[in-house]
Amino acid sequence: MRDRQIKKLIEAEKKRQNETVNLIASENFVSEDVLEALGSELTNKYAEGYPGARYYGGNEITDKIERLARERALKLFKLSPEEWAVNVQPLSGSPANLAVYLALVPQGGKIMGMSLAHGGHLTHGQKVSVTGKFWTQIPYGVSRETETLDYGEIKDIALREKPNIIVAGYTAYPRFIDFQKFREIADAAGAYLMVDMSHFAGLVAGGVYPSPFSVQGGRILADVVMTTVHKTLRGPRAALIFSRKDERNLPAKIDKAVFPGLQGGPHLNQIAAA
């Protein structure tokens, strides 16, 4: 690297990481393969659109890369391509969540998510986030006595407020989530159920955490599932949005929200690295 100042700083950060026991749950160490893909010639390519429908020429190879990423994402969570679609273009978790809301919640509609003070994330409708400016936040939290989710109270809030979407999955809640109960609450309130599994996606893939994709009582639990790739999945800074295939046409709505709704050309080096 010819920029000596940046090179020196990168080397210093590398040394810091190598000499530190990192207990930050949302950070991980990527492999050399990930770093190689991030720094590859894919950085040079513009690919607005989706495979087979790009606005630029020369995307025959990049189409194959994006299709392969979709295939691998579905396979990782043991999902059927007949039942689920996945968008691999979101740049990170926050814009991925924003894309889901843009697709499924009308402006001014209600997003029901965990309060930031109880372990929720900024993008689950918090007022300090853009999600709290375009939409109305309906917060829920944990019980003061047990410090766990009170599903009865969550149901009462949902029935009273009638949110457009309910978000399950948090930044700081170290316990299992009962997705079956959230499915029942969402059905009773007439809401979409979105699961943000960014912090435990690797545990879901490994089969040691309840899956939001599971079928219980003859019904798939979540309507939409979002995850980042850089936490327990040990990939680059990127995100995935899984959506159910049914008569509601969720995949098409989400694809349109990601591009052209929020983003231009995808970062193909990130997609390949993921």
d(CA 61, CA 117): 45
Catalytic residue among 150, 151, 181, 237: 237
d(CA 168, CA 120): 9
Strand order in the sheet with 84-87: 84-87, 239-244, 224-228, 192-196, 165-168, 110-114, 136-140
Structure tokens at 207: 């089969």
Do 164 and 189 meet the contact criterion of CB atoms below 8 Å apart?
no
CATH architecture, domain defined by 79-262: 3-Layer(aba) Sandwich (3.40)
The H or E element spanning position 240 is strand 239-244
Q: What are phi and psi of 242, to 5 degrees?
A: -95, 140
* C-alpha distances in Å from residue 136, one per residue of 61, 86, 130: 42, 27, 11
Which pLDDT value is given to residue 122? 72
| Alpha-carbon 236 to chain mean position | 13
Provide DSSP, 84-150: EEEE---SSHHHHHHHHHHHHS-TT-EEEEE-GGGT--TTTT-TTSTHHHHSEEEEE-B-TTTSSB-
- Residue 46 is among the residues annotated as catalytic for this protein: yes
48-72 pLDDT per residue, tens: 999 999 999 999 999 999 999 999 9
Q: Which residues contact 134 (CB under 8 A, 6 or more apart)?
A: 101, 107, 108
- Residue 196 is among the residues annotated as catalytic for this protein: yes
Which pLDDT value is given to residue 218? 65
Catalytic residue among 70, 183, 192, 196: 196
Tell me: pLDDT of 153 over 70: yes
Catalytic residue among 62, 123, 227, 228: 228
168-182 pLDDT per residue, tens: 988 888 899 999 999
Do 144 and 94 meet the contact criterion of CB atoms below 8 Å apart?
no
d(CA 130, CA 169): 19
Domain ranges of the chain: 79-262
Single-letter code of the amino acid located at 134: F
Tell me: pLDDT of 190 over 80: yes
- Residue 231 is among the residues annotated as catalytic for this protein: yes
Q: Global pTM? A: 0.94
d(CA 270, CA 16): 24
Catalytic residue among 70, 183, 231, 244: 231
* Maximum Cα–Cα distance across the chain: 61
d(CA 170, CA 139): 13
246-265 pLDDT per residue, tens: 999 999 999 999 999 999 99
195-247 pLDDT per residue, tens: 999 999 999 999 999 999 987 666 789 999 999 999 999 999 999 999 999 99
Provide DSSP, 172-225: S--S---HHHHHHHHHHHT-EEEEE-TTTHHHHHTTSS--TT-EETTEES-SEE
Catalytic residue among 48, 63, 150, 161: 48
Q: What are phi and psi of 192, to 5 degrees?
A: -70, 150
- Confidence label for 14 from pLDDT (cuts 50, 70 and 90): very high
